[in-house]
Amino acid sequence: TDEEGTTSSAKLSIKEPEALAAQIIENKPTANDNSKDGKAKVDVAGGSPPFAISWDSGEKGIEAKELSVGNHNVTITDDNGCNVVVDFETKKKILPSLTLAKIRKGQTIKMEQLLFEADSTRITPVSVPVLDELYDFMIENTSVVIEVGGHTNNVPPPAFCDQLSSARAKSVADYIVQKGIDPKRVFFKGYGKRKPIASNKSKEGRKKNQRVELKILSI
């Protein structure tokens, strides 16, 4: 009470909750067109917890583990009844043979959809999905040791082919090591033009020969 007998009161500042928002932070492909082993994880921000999270696959919680190839969505509802729907797509693996059940010691697997800039070790952005597939495989199978092998066609001089193939293989190895794979599990080697898999007489053949392969050293 002040001197005039009136009552003064402090105004309380009540912070309004942030708007409910969500995003997919992990999206892993299925083994093939017919399997339901795709995985996704959602991150929720704002809103009023607790949250009810429902995937169109029928799963509940922040992670889904039984997704098929195609378009999906997840619905998040907070304690006030506000909801948000996130749409996403589950794709199939680029390297379906890169699974523990299918690989064998000594096997080589071509890294499809792995592209470099011309005469460069710089990996193009479109190649990130196949690199991440390799990283996920190595994370999930901690006993596997691989060699990343680089190969070229027969057009450049031998010394350049050796240097380029080795440097490109190293770029792939460095990518997964920098993400956290033990470097003792990842070797690299440049084979230059020594191991063609097609004729170098055609453009198509030379394109096939210029590649990166994974060799399974131990399981």
- pLDDT at residue 1, rounded to an integer: 44
DSSP bridge pairs for 85: 75
Beta strands (DSSP E) in the chain are: 21-28, 38-45, 52-55, 63-67, 70-77, 83-90, 108-110, 145-151, 186-190, 211-218
| pLDDT, average across residues 122-146 | 94
Other CB atoms within 10 A of residue 201 CB:
9
Instruction: Give the C-alpha separation, 85 to 29, whole Å.
Output: 21
Rounded Cα gap, residues 171 and 185, in angstroms: 15
**Predicted confidence band of residue 11 (pLDDT cuts 50, 70, 90):** low
Q: How far apart are the first and last CA of the chain?
A: 80
Residue 6 has pLDDT above 60, yes or no: no
**SS3 (DSSP) at 123:** strand
pTM: 0.78
Read off the pLDDT band of 18 (50, 70, 90).
confident
Q: Which amino acid is at 134?
A: L
Task: Share the mean pLDDT of the chain.
Answer: 91
The phi, psi pair for 184, rounded to 5°, reads -70, -10
Q: Once rounded to an integer, what is the mean pLDDT over residues 73-88?
A: 97
Render pLDDT for 171-210 as a digit per residue (tens, 0 to 9): 999 999 999 999 999 999 999 999 999 998 898 899 999 9
pLDDT at 119 (0 to 100): 80
C-alpha 183/C-alpha 185 separation (Å) is: 5
What are the distances in angstroms from CA 183 to CA 13, 115, 179?
A: 53, 23, 11
Task: Assess whether pLDDT exceeds 50 at residue 2.
Answer: no
Query: Residue 76: which pLDDT band, with cuts at 50, 70 and 90?
Result: very high
Contacts (Cβ under 8 Å, ≥6 apart) of 195 = 151
